[in-house]
A and B are shown apart, each in its own frame.
Chain A
Amino acid sequence: MNKEAPLSVVERDFILDALRENVRLDGRSADQLRSLTVSFGEEYGHVKVQLGKTSLIVRISSEVAKPHDDRPFDGIFNISIELTAMGSPAWENGRQGDLEAYVANVLDRVIRHSNALDTESLCILKGVSCWTIRADVHITDYDGNLIDASCIGIMAGLQHFRRPDAVVKDGQVIVYGLDERVPVPLNITHKPLSVTFHTFDEGKVVILDAARKEEQASEADVIIGLNNAGDVCYLSKFSGSPVDALVFVTKTTVALEKVKEINSIIDKALQADLAKRAKGGLAEQARAENDRLIG
């Protein structure tokens, strides 16, 4: 199996005809994102993303390991995504489908290969020990645009995660528990996000953040990965019919706007969560400065 039930001819025609009249299934405009909520769990790096009806949970974890032999100064960062029958009945447990491999590849390229997480800062002792950071993506509900939603989840998770503090004393690595020392945030170099567009009607209609049915009715997809500064770090036109080069140019501007919008939503959620944690947290207790009396 491993494939969603295909759209009926009538349904496909309906979606296409509506799009030709600039109407989408859920009444959004072509460049509008579905409602996005990012929330955090109890642990550091536990993120819940809800994008329209698509929802997923990302968990970031850290572990001390031996660095790769060819890169003794680098820590290790892995993204793991496994599609289970939870997200969609069409996915089979324990068997990798095309979609899974595709999503994993894009996430790797957008986040890992663009060096969003500075792996050099994960090194503890050259060639001996380093941090391994692992991002696990659990898809709980699938309704299209898996890539953007996972990207948002992982980036929010990396910014939220705190790893235990570790020091090297006389060649010995000491790792302090989360309650012994203030845990350390990860070193994020930039915040890339992916924005997916789908094209219809021989490339004449291009929409952003397609829902599952729109995805199924589309001809081709274009993924643009870029950060707040507008640096494009990933561009892909993976399959489907050809897309006009001008689409890439014009949609990059739209994508930049969206990336800024999404990043500000993530920042807001992070600030709110950190403010909640700051009350009575370890960081508060360990602070050396006194509260300044005003007035």
Chain B
Amino acid sequence: MMGGPIASLHPLSRADGSASYKCPSTGSNVLGSVNAPVELPGRRDALKPEDATIEVFVKPGTAPSGVGERYVEGILRGALSRIVLGREKGYPRRGVVITLAILGGESIGRGGSYLPLLPALLHTSILALLSASVPLSMSLSATMLAVNPSGEIVRKPSITDARAAASLHVLAFTSKGHLLLSESEGRFNFDTWDKVYENALAVCHGTSTLSSDGDVAMTENMDTQPLEGFVRDTVEDHIRAEYAWKVDAA
């Protein structure tokens, strides 16, 4: 139906690293920037002097930021701090400042759910971190799945799908295939979550990493490209473009 997500690396000039990301199903468009390592004012580093402090700031497109943003910032910070190697040289006691601005798509009303935006925010931040050359232990990919009232799992749900859904799930996987983040909303049982997990893993990593259940083999041809490959391709394309002078000369 629709194409894959659209992303570009390093669209901004002032920030150390930046990325823009557009999700085709929800229509959300996020611009992210990373400044790292930076001096942090005050004594915010006192708690963990041997580690970098990760700061995430989410700026909604057409509304003042509020509790919803603070909440999603907490989720993002938790997930990203598992990945960023904050103990590398030059990083302890410094800050990794991630700023995410929601520039397009339907804005989330007061008290609305942030789950539909979460995969886009995660992808933007990982791409921006990569563009800023922040040391990372691994990369990540994330997806949202909706379970509609009749119990079917909807992949790549649109905003309308998400509103009608009985439950919403956002799952993020590391590049090694481990579950990194699981946020769910609504009513569901554990069997549903299991199915959601398998589907999400297939979306992010393709079916090759799945156990030879045979159950999910039919999903193989449905997706154009696993999301993990998308993150990798975006970075590869960017590097190829940056090093064109060298490649051409060789």
User: Which of B12, B59, B104, B107 lies in contact with A141, CB distance below 8 A?
Assistant: B12
Q: Is the CB of A31 closer than 8 A to any CB of chain B?
A: no
Number of contacting residues on B, CB 8 A?
Answer: 26
Q: Which of A9-17, A79-87, A123-131, A255-263 sits within the interface? A: A79-87
CA distance in complex: A1, B33 (Å): 18
Question: Does A190 make an interface contact (CB < 8 A)?
Answer: no
Chain A residues positioned under 8 Å from B12 (CB to CB)? 55, 86, 140-141
User: Separation in Å of the A179 CB from the closest CB of chain B?
Assistant: 13
Q: Within the assembled complex, what's the spacing in Å between the Cα atoms of A53 and B101?
A: 19
Q: Of B11, B41, B55, B61, which is within 8 A of A1 by CB?
A: B41
Q: Is A295 part of the binding interface, using a Cβ–Cβ cutoff of 8 Å?
A: no
Q: Is the interface of A mostly helix, strand, loop or mixed?
A: loop
Q: Which of A55, A59, A92 sits near B61, CB closer than 8 Å?
A: A59
Across-interface contacts of A84 in B (CB, < 8 A): 57, 59, 99, 101
Q: Which of A80, A88, A140 has the most CB of B within 10 A?
A: A140
Across-interface contacts of A61 in B (CB, < 8 A): 61-63, 107
Q: CB distance A59 to B103 under 8 Å?
A: yes
Nearest residue (CB) in B for A89 is B35
Q: From B103, which residue of chain A is reached at the shortest CB distance?
A: A57
Most chain B C-beta atoms within 10 Å of own C-beta, residue among A53, A55, A60, A84: A84
Q: Tell me the total A-B contact number using a CB cutoff of 8 A.
A: 75
A-B residue pairs in contact (CB < 8 Å), sample of 6: A59-B61, A61-B61, A136-B63, A138-B61, A141-B13, A143-B13
Q: Is B31's beta carbon under 8 Å from chain A?
A: yes
B103→A138 contact, CB < 8 A: yes
In the complex, chain A residues whose CB is within 8 Å of the CB of B99: 84-86, 93
- Which residue of B is nearest A134, CB measured? B62
CA distance A59 to B14 in the complex (A): 21
- The answer to whether the Cβ of A171 comes within 8 Å of any Cβ in the partner chain is no
Contact B16 A89 (CB under 8 A): yes
Shortest beta-carbon distance from A40 to chain B in Å: 12
Contacts of B33 in A (CB 8 A): 85-86
Q: Does B214 contact A (CB under 8 A)?
A: no
Q: Are A142 and B41 in contact (CB under 8 A)?
A: no
Docked pose: A42 CA to B97 CA in angstroms: 29
Judge whether B13 and A136 touch: CB under 8 Å: no
Q: Are B14 and A141 in contact (CB under 8 A)?
A: yes
For B41, list chain A residues within 8 Å (CB).
1, 92
* In the complex, A94 has a CB within 8 A of chain B: yes
Residues of A within 8 A of B39 (CB): 1
A127→B101 CA distance, assembly (Å): 35
Is there contact, CB below 8 Å, between A85 and B35?
A: yes
Query: With an 8 A cutoff between CB atoms, is A66 at the interface?
Result: no
